[in-house]
Amino acid sequence: MSFRHIFGHERQIKQLKRAVTARRIPHAYLFHGIRGVGKWTIARQYAKHLYCRQRADDACDSCASCRKIDHESHADVDFVAPEKGVIKLDQIRMIQNHARVSPLEGEKRLFIIDDADCLNEEAANALLKILEEPSAATMFVLVSARQYQLPQTVLSRCQKVAFAPLKRETIESYLRETGDYDRGNAFLLAAQCGGSIGTALSMNETAFLENKNALIGTLVAADCAHNLADLMKITEIFGSTKETIMDRLAVLHGWYRDVLVYGESGRTDDIINQDILETVASMAECLPRYRAIKALNHVERAMDAIEKNVNKQLTLETMVFKLSHLVEK
């Protein structure tokens, strides 16, 4: 894969290529944006663009340098990732040692650090020292979905490249052109994934659409029956891991958003849950606009609490209890 095969992010790619052409490459980049949006993929293609032996405008994907980078075996390109969720001091010391060695195949050595926000305090301090006294023969690309977790001192020494969520149409095209997705599934996954190709692919692998409709069906049945006991049982559907809970909360957020949009406009072209339009329309009749907005706020507060590692069960039960008072009898 090369830049020409990337879906979306045209502005960011132009920025990177322009810097290479002008030979004004910053010492360190920070690629930041939501998880699964393509930051890591573009970091790899950036490396290939820098070291490709055949083409100046984009990587050829076939020369020895391109193949080595694809296999993470290029002598001048080091890939660093968290080990058990943490980037440790030893990993940064490895970077320090490699940075002392002259490049073997290019003009500079490139270090790509994935999930850079996972640096522990010692590792972050060691990396800062490297960034404060950069060698002319080294370059860095830090990749992060939570750049706010990085020390400000590290952030200030990086040129930032922001990756916005991709448009639904872009993700739908990607799914249809690169995978075995029919138009209906591609549309639904693209609408549900929050602008992240990685999330869309993960959703398909975990039978997301079936789980989504099961959750919404249970919620609607309990809401319409005004049965608090049944509604509280929904917390059992959320699972126990932070990732699963956040996925289920995203489903609820999309659901109440759809109810609000349909209730306000009666339009269906902007609805996320295209596969259950009749259910959306039915709920919009008994959930007024101001209550749909409250529901969205309750879900957003729960998502924020779970992200901050507040007690999961208590957070979900509090959210469901507040939601139970919103549907009109």
Q: How many CB atoms sit inside 10 A of residue 96's CB?
A: 12
Phi, psi of 45 (to 5 degrees): -70, -30
- For residue 163, what pLDDT is reported? 96
The helix/strand/coil state of 160 is strand
Q: Say how many C-beta atoms besides its own lie within 10 A of residue 125's C-beta.
A: 15
**Rounded Cα gap, residues 91 and 81, in angstroms:** 9
Number of residues that make up the chain: 329
- Domain positions in the chain are 3-163, 206-323
pLDDT attached to residue 306: 92
pTM score, two decimals? 0.80
Cα→Cα distances 125→120, 154, 230, Å = 9, 9, 51
What confidence score (pLDDT) does residue 308 get? 86
pLDDT of residue 197: 93
Per-residue pLDDT of the chain (329 residues; tens, 9 = 90+): 788 889 999 999 999 999 999 989 999 999 999 999 999 999 999 999 999 988 778 899 999 999 999 999 999 999 999 998 999 999 999 999 999 888 998 889 999 999 999 999 999 999 999 999 888 899 999 999 999 999 999 999 999 999 999 999 999 999 998 887 888 888 888 888 889 999 888 887 667 778 888 888 888 887 766 767 777 878 888 888 888 898 889 889 999 999 999 999 888 888 888 889 999 998 898 888 888 899 999 999 999 999 888 999 999 999 988 888 776 55
* Element containing residue 30 per DSSP (H, E): strand 28-33
Say which CATH topology domain 3-163 has.
Rossmann fold (3.40.50)
* Predicted local confidence at residue 225, as pLDDT: 65
Give domain 206-323's CATH number out of 1.10.20, 1.10.10, 1.10.287, 1.20.272.
1.20.272
